Amino acid sequence: MGTLDIFVEDLALAYPEAVGFLTRQGLRCIRCGEPVWGTLGAFLAEAGVEPQALVDQLNVFLSQHRKKAR
Protein backbone atom coordinates (compact mmCIF):
# COMPACT_ATOMS: atom_id res chain seq x y z
CA MET A 1 0.00 0.00 0.00
CA GLY A 2 1.16 3.53 0.61
CA THR A 3 4.75 4.10 1.68
CA LEU A 4 6.83 7.23 2.04
CA ASP A 5 8.91 6.25 -0.97
CA ILE A 6 6.08 5.40 -3.40
CA PHE A 7 5.78 7.85 -6.26
CA VAL A 8 2.55 9.82 -6.08
CA GLU A 9 1.64 8.88 -9.65
CA ASP A 10 2.11 5.18 -8.84
CA LEU A 11 -0.04 5.52 -5.72
CA ALA A 12 -2.84 7.16 -7.72
CA LEU A 13 -2.70 4.45 -10.38
CA ALA A 14 -2.58 1.53 -7.94
CA TYR A 15 -5.05 2.97 -5.41
CA PRO A 16 -7.32 5.55 -7.08
CA GLU A 17 -9.32 5.84 -3.85
CA ALA A 18 -6.21 7.31 -2.20
CA VAL A 19 -6.71 10.50 -4.23
CA GLY A 20 -10.04 11.20 -2.51
CA PHE A 21 -8.55 10.41 0.89
CA LEU A 22 -5.69 12.87 0.38
CA THR A 23 -8.07 15.53 -0.92
CA ARG A 24 -10.25 15.15 2.18
CA GLN A 25 -7.11 15.67 4.27
CA GLY A 26 -6.74 19.11 2.68
CA LEU A 27 -4.04 18.19 0.18
CA ARG A 28 -4.29 19.51 -3.34
CA CYS A 29 -6.07 17.22 -5.72
CA ILE A 30 -3.63 14.98 -7.53
CA ARG A 31 -5.82 14.53 -10.59
CA CYS A 32 -7.29 18.01 -10.98
CA GLY A 33 -4.77 20.21 -12.61
CA GLU A 34 -1.41 20.55 -10.93
CA PRO A 35 0.57 17.34 -11.27
CA VAL A 36 2.49 16.05 -8.28
CA TRP A 37 5.93 14.64 -8.99
CA GLY A 38 8.10 12.75 -6.58
CA THR A 39 7.47 10.55 -3.61
CA LEU A 40 4.50 10.58 -1.29
CA GLY A 41 6.81 11.37 1.63
CA ALA A 42 8.22 14.46 -0.11
CA PHE A 43 4.72 15.56 -1.16
CA LEU A 44 3.40 15.30 2.39
CA ALA A 45 6.42 17.02 3.94
CA GLU A 46 6.09 19.85 1.41
CA ALA A 47 2.42 20.18 2.35
CA GLY A 48 3.43 20.66 5.99
CA VAL A 49 1.96 17.48 7.43
CA GLU A 50 3.75 14.73 9.34
CA PRO A 51 4.36 12.23 6.55
CA GLN A 52 4.46 8.94 8.46
CA ALA A 53 1.30 9.70 10.45
CA LEU A 54 -0.68 10.46 7.30
CA VAL A 55 0.70 7.41 5.48
CA ASP A 56 -0.41 5.29 8.44
CA GLN A 57 -3.91 6.81 8.23
CA LEU A 58 -3.94 6.29 4.46
CA ASN A 59 -3.06 2.62 4.84
CA VAL A 60 -5.84 2.09 7.38
CA PHE A 61 -8.26 3.76 4.95
CA LEU A 62 -7.05 1.66 2.00
CA SER A 63 -7.28 -1.53 4.03
CA GLN A 64 -10.85 -0.76 5.09
CA HIS A 65 -11.80 0.29 1.56
CA ARG A 66 -10.44 -2.95 0.10
CA LYS A 67 -12.31 -5.06 2.66
CA LYS A 68 -15.59 -3.32 1.77
CA ALA A 69 -14.95 -3.89 -1.94
CA ARG A 70 -14.72 -7.66 -1.51
* pLDDT tens for each residue of 32-67: 556 667 899 998 998 899 999 999 999 999 999 888
State the pLDDT at residue 60.
97
Q: Where are the alpha helices (DSSP H) in 1-70?
A: 8-14, 17-24, 40-46, 51-69
Residue 26 has pLDDT above 70, yes or no: yes
- Collapsing DSSP to helix, strand or coil, 16 comes out as coil
Q: How far apart are CA 20 and CA 12, in angstroms?
A: 10
Residue 13 has pLDDT above 80, yes or no: yes
Q: Rounded to the nearest 5 degrees, what angle is found at the Cα of 62, between the Cα atoms of 58 and 63?
A: 115
